[in-house]
């Protein structure tokens, strides 16, 4: 589908893209750049690309597609650096989970003749680094593209077709609307998870060993979310603060209502809320975004594979 694809950043998402491209033979050449020589060397050891360079201006030369897979806080500096070296007709995209900031950070630097199409694959795990990726990460997951006004439709179709080839379902959204939706479905849940785990860490009446020893499903699942890449999520909250603050305001109001229900013993209100939220879970399963198979965190096949059984 492309002669040369350049990946700037080779963590979980970047390495998964590289693996998917190789597995499905979607490009002749994958060029990889990342700011850390150690990470770049690791990507080379894993055979994720065909060429490697610490300098992103070198990997984007003659690339038909450039995908920025770095933390969104670094986008503007990367954009300024690579812009003069992008070839006419190339597609410039990304994988950041905040889109309005991405447009503001990159669009002013994109040369005429380069097709800038922001993107966001809604897929991931709590792990990071080039060894964390896998080719099937995007199977059955959504990828949202947020093209700017005047986007070339042929370029948009080419990028869409690539994500479809990765196994993704593709949706086109406005950047501002994307950020509002992701604030409630991803960003605020992560912030809550970080906060709950942090609260448990600070409780003087409960030791850390007890928190770990008696972790039930709820707290344990929060720790999985809270184990996500700190740098990436720092940048998400700093660059999507308006939408996050709006959703946090709504969450705080609902939490206050829940607090009153618990304090005054309003069991009817609690049961009605829990019934509605249970139905949301069923809707997610019905939409194919989750399974209803209970594993309680015990991924038996994975454990057996690791133990050699």
Q: Give tens-digit pLDDT for 204-219.
A: 566 666 777 776 667 7
Are residues 23 and 125 both part of a single domain?
yes
What predicted TM-score, i.e. pTM, was given to this entire model? Answer: 0.80
- The CATH number for 157's domain is 3.40.50.720
Are residues 10 and 120 both part of a single domain?
yes
Whether 304 is in a domain gets the answer no
The encoded tokens of residue 219 equal 């707290």
Q: Give tens-digit pLDDT for 129-139.
A: 999 999 999 99
Of 124, 150, 173, the residue that ends a domain is 173
CA–CA dist 219, 116 (Å, integer): 41
Are residues 220 and 126 both part of a single domain?
no
Whether 309 is in a domain gets the answer no
CA–CA dist 14, 7 (Å, integer): 7
Are residues 13 and 145 both part of a single domain?
yes
Are residues 140 and 184 both part of a single domain?
no
% of the chain residues with pLDDT over 90? 60
Are residues 151 and 188 both part of a single domain?
no
Whether 301 is in a domain gets the answer no
Whether 303 is in a domain gets the answer no
How many domains are contained in the chain? 2
The encoded tokens of residue 177 equal 């609307």
Asked if pLDDT for residue 62 goes beyond 80, the answer is yes
Of 136, 151, 173, the residue that ends a domain is 173
The band of 279, judged by pLDDT with boundaries at 50, 70 and 90, is confident
Q: Give tens-digit pLDDT for 167-176.
A: 999 999 999 9
The band of 304, judged by pLDDT with boundaries at 50, 70 and 90, is very low
Burial 155-181 (b: 16+ CB within 10 A, else e): bbebbbebbeebbbebeebebeebbbb
Whether 147 is in a domain gets the answer yes
Whether 47 is in a domain gets the answer yes
**What is the structure's pLDDT at 300?**
41
Whether 122 is in a domain gets the answer yes
Q: Which domain holds residue 278?
A: 177-286
- The CATH number for 195's domain is 1.10.3660.10
Are residues 119 and 209 both part of a single domain?
no
* Over residues 74-101, mean pLDDT: 96
**What is the structure's pLDDT at 161?**
97
The encoded tokens of residue 8 equal 């700037």
Are residues 138 and 183 both part of a single domain?
no
Query: For 205-266, where are the alpha helices, taking DSSP H only?
Result: 208-213, 217-226, 230-239, 241-263
Strand pairing of 169-172 and 142-145? parallel
Q: Could you count the other beta carbons within 10 Å of the beta carbon of residue 39?
A: 19
Are residues 196 and 245 both part of a single domain?
yes
């Amino acid at each position: 589908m492309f002669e040369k694809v350049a990946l700037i950043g080779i963590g979980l998402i970047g390495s998964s893209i590289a693996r998917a491209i190789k597995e499905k033979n979607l490009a002749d050449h994958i060029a990889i750049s990342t700011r850390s020589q150690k990470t770049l060397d690791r990507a080379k050891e894993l055979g994720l690309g065909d060429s490697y360079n610490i300098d992103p201006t070198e990997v984007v030369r003659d690339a038909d597609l450039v995908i920025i897979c770095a933390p969104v806080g670094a986008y503007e500096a990367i954009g300024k650096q690579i812009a003069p070296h992008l070839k006419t007709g190339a597609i410039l995209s990304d994988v950041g989970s905040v889109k309005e900031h991405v447009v503001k950070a990159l669009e002013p630097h994109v040369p005429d003749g380069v097709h800038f199409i922001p993107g966001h694959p809604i897929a991931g795990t709590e792990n990071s680094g080039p060894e964390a990726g896998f080719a099937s990460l995007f199977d059955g997951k959504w990828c949202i593209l947020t093209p700017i006004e005047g986007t070339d439709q042929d370029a948009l179709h080419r990028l869409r077709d690539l994500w479809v080839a990765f196994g993704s379902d593709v949706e086109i959204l406005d950047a501002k609307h994307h950020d509002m939706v992701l604030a409630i479905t991803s960003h605020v849940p992560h912030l809550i998870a970080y906060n709950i785990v942090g609260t448990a860490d600070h409780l003087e009446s409960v030791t850390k060993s007890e928190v770990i020893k008696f972790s039930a499903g709820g707290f344990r699942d929060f720790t999985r979310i809270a184990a996500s890449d700190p740098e990436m999520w720092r940048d998400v909250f700093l660059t999507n603060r308006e939408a996050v603050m709006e959703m946090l305001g709504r969450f705080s109001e609902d939490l206050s209502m829940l607090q009153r229900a618990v304090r005054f013993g309003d069991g009817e209100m609690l049961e009605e809320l829990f019934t509605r939220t249970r139905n949301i879970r069923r809707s997610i399963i019905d939409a194919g975004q989750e399974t209803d198979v209970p594993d309680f965190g015990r991924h038996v096949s994975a454990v057996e594979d690791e133990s050699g059984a």
